[in-house]
A = this chain, B = another copy of it.
Amino acid sequence: MDFVKYSFKNDYSEIAHPQVLEALSAAGCKQFEGYGLDEYSARAAGLIRSIISKPSADVHFIAGGTHANLVALSSFLRPHEAVIAPESSHIFVHETGAIEATGHKICTRKGSDGKLRVEDIESVVAEHTDEHMVKPRLVFISLSSETGTVYKKKELTAISAYCRSNGLYLYLDGARLGAAVNSEACDLSYSDIADLTDAFYFGGTKNGALFGEAIVICNDVLKEDFRFLLKQRGALLAKGAAIGAQFEALFKDGLYDRLARHSNMTASKLAGGIAALGYGFLYPAETNLIIPVFPANIADALHRSYSFHDWQNLDDMVAVRLVTSWSTPEAVIDGFITDLSVLSAN
């Protein structure tokens, strides 16, 4: 990689947490059923149902997040039905038109702090009045959002209530659900999320897994034939046990939350150090993805030692995206703050 000291580009730069890899190795030469019908997947699904307090939920394991989104949305919608999502959403910006490739339009609103508000959803609905336009049918939100912020229980409850009274499904992209739920800024539990949404997924890739996400379908109406859709889109992994075993490792004794808390802790420490040096943030620093604003020359200097994405140019300032992970060493944070303080002093 193109850095000297450390990469803050994302939270999937390391292969996997050792306990996850051990779980895979422990399988040895045991034979298991294919396509997710194995005992690992069954146990992992059971753990997830228990964590969300929803014994009736369907749980499906899938290799990646874009894939999870496109299979789920194209399974839930009829051809003329559309998605409502924030302008910054991953499906709208960074999935190469994956949702449109399955035939569905995404109607966007700017939202606030990377989040969609009830009024945003309302305005999309109000605008779509007849058969010459798509029919908005599903609201897509991310927790945490693309800008690292979280929905409060009050916000998600309001969105959920609006959706239910207006015939809209609510789908939550949980690529960073662990970081969100374990954030001090978030008062939502996993079971709240299962109660308030129709479907969502637990992200593994960005929280210690080698790969894999767990799609949870809460609304009975959306459950039918989902395995057909997974298979048709190339998402039913032959060795489903390879994901099941990882999720079992992540959920059987709280590893998932511990890893998320470490990510948050290191990001919080990083944000604290940056703030102490007098810098501000583009959005509230609530999870393991933060967006501080630095003078352009400082950002340039940091780029010489660290790897990270610039988020937005703001005249002579630049907002940069720093992401920590389950494996970010605290010493790296200390080093970064020291480097920043030296650069700031010049």
Binding site for B on A (CB under 8 A): 1, 6-7, 9-10, 12-16, 18, 21, 24-25, 27-35, 63-71, 74-75, 78-80, 82, 93-98, 100-105, 131-135, 205-206, 210-211, 225, 227-239, 241-242, 245, 327
Contact = CB atoms under 8 A, between A and B. Distances in A.
A100 B98 contact: no
A101 B233 contact: yes
Given A103-B103, A211-B242, A34 B21 contact: no
A100 B104 CA distance: 6
Contacts of A9: 34
Contacts of A15: 24, 27-28, 30, 32, 239, 241-242, 245
B31 A135 contact: no
Given A35-B132, A74-B79, 4 more contacts: A13-B33, A24-B210, A98-B233, A131-B228
Nearest to A127: B93
B21 A25 contact: yes
Main secondary structure on chain A at its contact with chain B?
Answer: loop
A205 B104 CA distance: 28
Contacts of A14: 27, 29-32
A234 B71 contact: yes
A227 B7 CA distance: 23
Q: How many copies does the complex hold?
A: 4
A60 to B, nearest CB: 11
Contacts of A235: 67, 234
A206 B104 CA distance: 29
Contacts of A74: 79
A50 B20 CA distance: 33
A239 to B, nearest CB: 5
A234 B100 contact: no
Contact of A237 (B35, B64, B206, B229): B64
A95 B206 CA distance: 29
A291 B94 CA distance: 38
A345 to B, nearest CB: 28
Contacts of A210: 24, 210, 239, 242
Contact of A135 (B1, B35, B103, B225): B225
